[in-house]
Structure 1
Amino acid sequence: MAQRPIKVMRIIARLNVGGPAIHVISLTGLLREPDFESILVCGHIDETEGDMQYLAEERGIEPVIIPTLGRDISLLRDIGTIWQLYRLIRRYRPVIVDTHTAKAGFVGRIAAWLARVPVRLHTFHGHVFHGYFGPRKTQLFLMLERLCARLSSRIITISPGLRDELVNTYHIAPAAKFVVVPLGFDLAPLTARPPRASNPTRVVGIVGRLVPIKNHKLFLDAARLLLQ
């Protein structure tokens, strides 16, 4: 008798331009039958953001859209979002719920815990505890993360440094609850490019969205110092 595929539900706030969106789309597209059955759940992007849903469509993925699964926190709206996720989880019956990004992590883990999902994971691609919000909102996010950590089977970080910061600086959960899983991206399109002409000059660049939090100014300031 053939073994049934493991059902995985991946929840992310929105498929805006950035590493988390590419990561969840890649995981959903690659973890498929016969071993896995994956579903991707997300909200709408903000008006000022780039949309990466095209990448999901290119890979044959049709995300389930929950419009209220956005970035901002609103108590009444988020209670409604938890209820929608709870109903979806009860209908789909995943063995694993894996949440990505802060807002999706809050509502997704609460809904998965209420629905008694056996394995509840949350992946940190970074954190919003510095440089994003004011003191009050930052403390709210810290409180929610510590609460949801108790509802998590495991917490995944993409690097040891991020894990250590969450454990030692922000006290999100004990180190034993964390697992480090580096990001995996298909870099074949980049490595397939023809080699550069022989040139001893080293080329230094920066990879990141053109948004203030990525601090491209620091890179440009460093480049200017190197040239002086």
Structure 2
Amino acid sequence: MAKIKIAHLLHSLGGVDVYLRLLLNNIDTDSFENIVIHGTKDTNVPFLDKNKKNVKEYKISVFREISVINDLKATYQTYQILKKEHPDLLHTHSAKGGMIGRVLGPLLGIKVIYTPHAFSYLSAQNSLKKGVFLSIEKLLVKRSILLLATSNSEKKRAIDEVGFDPKNTIVFNNCIEPISKIDTLTIPKTWPDYYICTVGRPSYQKNIEHMIRVISEVNKELRIHLVIMGVGPVSDQLESVQSLIQELDMTTEVTLLSWTERTDVFNIIKQSKFYISTARYEGMPYSVIESLALSKPCIVTNCDGNRDLIIDGHNGFVISEELMQFKDKILVLLGDDKLLESMSKNSQQTFSDNFSIKKNINQLEAIYRSYN
């Protein structure tokens, strides 16, 4: 039987990059052939398949920022690649990949799967911009396109807000490989042993300023250090976060870490008391899944993805963005060792039951086969 050829179209950064690499590392190479179409400046790390062989890749002029010239150029480049490769399926990821792919797929007679990884309009900081982004999403809704959500919350949003047909909307939860080994840190440890942590670039989405204010309130009653991982080149609110840390006199209570090896991230999460997220929106956050795999309870905002992973009172707390509620739950978990131990066990069980890609990859393979 011939292999099903799948072209993946994306700007390969952050969680989208993690998603694709996990997919490629686990999907059956006897049944599927994958190619990757991604940006010229997003990643230089080769994509590898299950057998550690390089996956064919093409680079195009796709960037995070909106640019009429670059976006048209990327669309033409993708058109040429798809004409050459003739894939059976086009799996488009995130806003840019989704936009280009949903235009070209129907033109070329290629079936399209679209995974938003959190809809772009959720990133808008004003109602006008949000309305424009949402209108674009609605404009590109087509019956011939399958929406493959990363969580049940994202599926619900796709149907209720964007207008996708429930019959063409399904879920494949983000999932990861079990973390069986914790390597030693490759970076100097400059923070104390007693700490909580988060992963997320200072940005509107991750709402790190709110987290800083929460920890400031917590430390009025109980001293706890905060380690923030993922401060990279697209941290558009880094200066705001740094200014707030200075303003609240928290320079000795917060550590900002640049992007580092995933093994370092695992090490830091594993040694922490628990994980925290103040995100305004998500698709299905890998850092929370990783925390569950590492037996860490999580205190998170009640947004898409977070609420799919954390059961309030079972493996953490799901709360509103209200500052004092966040503070109270952090103090509860820091002050109750038995509760912390119970939630830690529940976190690992939640991961094992639901979010291991070793168990779940056959679900995605079945989706590809049925849609081909």
TM-score (norm 1): 0.77
1:142/1:172 contact within 8 Å kept: no
Q: Helix, strand or coil for the counterpart of 1:186?
A: coil
Amino acid at match of 1:172: G
Q: Offset of 1:84 from its aligned partner? A: 1.6
Counterpart position of 1:39: 35
Counterpart position of 1:211: 202
Counterpart position of 1:25: 21
2:21/2:47 contact within 8 Å kept: yes
Q: Offset of 1:37 from its aligned partner? A: 0.6
Deviation string, structure 1 residues 24-79 (Cα, Å, up to 9, x no partner):
1222343353211100110134xxxxx6542636953353100x211223334323
Residues 1:99 and 1:151: Cα distance change in structure 2 (over 3 Å)? farther
Q: Helix, strand or coil for the counterpart of 2:156?
A: helix
Residues 1:145 and 1:90: Cα distance change in structure 2 (over 3 Å)? same
Counterpart position of 1:175: 166
Does structure 1 residue 145 correspond to structure 2 residue 143? no
Amino acid at match of 1:6: I
Cα distance in 1 for residues equivalent to 2:4 and 2:48 = 23
- Bigger mean CA offset, 75-84 vs 88-97: 75-84
Q: Offset of 1:87 from its aligned partner? A: 1.6
Identify which of 49, 54, 75 aligns with 2:45: 54
Residues 1:125 and 1:206: Cα distance change in structure 2 (over 3 Å)? farther
Residues 1:115 and 1:131: Cα distance change in structure 2 (over 3 Å)? closer
Cα distance in 1 for residues equivalent to 2:48 and 2:32 = 19
Does structure 1 residue 10 correspond to structure 2 residue 3? no
Identity %: 19
2:37/2:59 contact within 8 Å kept: yes
Does structure 1 residue 71 correspond to structure 2 residue 64? yes
Counterpart position of 2:263: none
Q: Helix, strand or coil for the counterpart of 2:134?
A: helix
Q: Offset of 1:151 from its aligned partner? A: 6.0
Counterpart position of 1:192: 181
Q: Offset of 1:209 from its aligned partner? A: 2.0
1:157/1:179 contact within 8 Å kept: yes
Q: Offset of 1:205 from its aligned partner? A: 4.7
Q: Offset of 1:204 from its aligned partner? A: 8.6
Deviation string, structure 1 residues 110-134 (Cα, Å, up to 9, x no partner):
11121110x2100121122234354
2:25/2:48 contact within 8 Å kept: no
1:8/1:97 contact within 8 Å kept: yes
Q: Helix, strand or coil for the counterpart of 1:125?
A: coil
Cα distance in 2 for residues equivalent to 1:11 and 1:126 = 16
Identify which of 83, 92, 108 aligns with 1:90: 83
Counterpart position of 2:112: 120
Structure 2, gaps ≥5 residues long: 184-193, 219-326, 333-372
Amino acid at match of 1:216: I
Structure 1, gaps ≥5 residues long: 46-50, 195-202
Q: Helix, strand or coil for the counterpart of 2:8?
A: strand
Amino acid at match of 1:103: K
2:24/2:48 contact within 8 Å kept: no
Q: Helix, strand or coil for the counterpart of 2:174?
A: coil
Cα distance in 2 for residues equivalent to 1:97 and 1:173 = 18
Q: Helix, strand or coil for the counterpart of 1:63?
A: strand
Q: For this pair of structures, how many residues does the alignment match?
A: 206
Amino acid at match of 1:64: Y
- Bigger mean CA offset, 3-12 vs 120-129: 120-129
TM-score (norm 2): 0.50
Cα distance in 1 for residues equivalent to 2:182 and 2:25 = 25
Cα distance in 2 for residues equivalent to 1:29 and 1:64 = 18
